[in-house]
Amino acid sequence: MELIIQPGPAESARIVADAIVALLKRKPDAVLGLATGSSPLAVYDELVRRHEQGEVSFARARAFLLDEYVGLPADHPQRYRNVIETELVGRVDFADGAVQGPDGLAQDIPAACAAYEEAIAAAGGVDLQILGIGTDGHIAFNEPGSSLASRTRIKTLTRQTRVDNARFFDDDIDKVPTHCLTQGLATIQAARHLVLVATGRHKAEAIHQMVEGPVSAMWPASVLQHHPHVSVLVDPAAAARLQLADYYRETYETKPAWQGL
């Protein structure tokens, strides 16, 4: 796991965008994993800027979303398919139908989850997955206690996650759905490159447990310690609890330029 401590979101966004642009140049039909929430917004803005400058095209790429709320109407602004359309997809040149997400309105939830797993596999798997992390250490909506071998399924959201996400629902927790569909931890682990972005002191404990704590279902993101290619980009506030922060900085500063993210 590579830990990269940057001054703020703009610097992290530049590094992540560099990696995605490089991937699409060597593999124009790459499969991306897209996350929603606050963490990746600067990355998406940077990718849009580079697309507008003619530096990158998504025309042959495909993408899969990490998760989706269950039961939100198709036109709800916080439905993740609509969120990602606003934040990225509608601002670049993805082909129609190239971006898929779990079907939170499916009548048969288990069948929809199985179909989503099959769609990811049929696309050849995810080349680069963007991730955020919750204050309780969840990635996607794999809440504490999630099986480390889990696949796409329905999950009940913790009260903490609903409190955290209430800001997107007029600060009203009662408007936040209680259930979601989410890629499982094993699904996420199958991606070839995982890129996690986190900012703010409120993420510091989760980052510490993910990077330096034991692998445990109580901190689901800690399973990333078992992945061969993980890049974690944090600001100093999110890095505040890291015991080896100086070592991580030295490692990144002395990294060979040719190595990339």
Write out 35-101 in H/E/C secondary structure. CCCCCCHHHHHHHHHHHHCCCCCCCCCEEEECEEECCCCCCCCCCHHHHHHHHCHHHCCCCCCCEEC
pLDDT at 258 over 90: no
Annotation says 143 is catalytic? yes
Q: What is the pLDDT of residue 11?
A: 96
Domain assignment of residue 89, yes or no: yes
Catalytic residue among 46, 67, 127, 235: 67
Pairing type for strands 179-182 and 67-69 reads antiparallel
Domain holding 80, by residue range, is 8-153+182-220
Report the alpha-carbon distance of residue 49 to residue 88 in Å, rounded.
11
Domain assignment of residue 54, yes or no: yes
Report the alpha-carbon distance of residue 28 to residue 95 in Å, rounded.
13
Domain assignment of residue 206, yes or no: yes
- pTM of the full structure: 0.96
CATH of the domain at 58: 3.40.50.1360
Annotation says 67 is catalytic? yes
Mean pLDDT of 229-255: 97
* pLDDT single digits (tens) 95-125: 999 999 999 999 999 999 999 999 999 999 9
Catalytic residue among 46, 68, 87, 138: 138
Domain assignment of residue 254, yes or no: no
Domain assignment of residue 209, yes or no: yes
pLDDT at 253 over 90: yes
pLDDT tier at 260, thresholds 50, 70, 90: confident
Report the domain count for the chain: 1
Domain assignment of residue 236, yes or no: no
Domain assignment of residue 18, yes or no: yes
pLDDT at 257 over 90: no
Sheet of 179-182, strands arranged across:
67-69, 179-182, 153-156
In 107-188, the DSSP E strands lie at 128-131, 153-156, 179-182
Domain assignment of residue 68, yes or no: yes
Annotation says 246 is catalytic? no
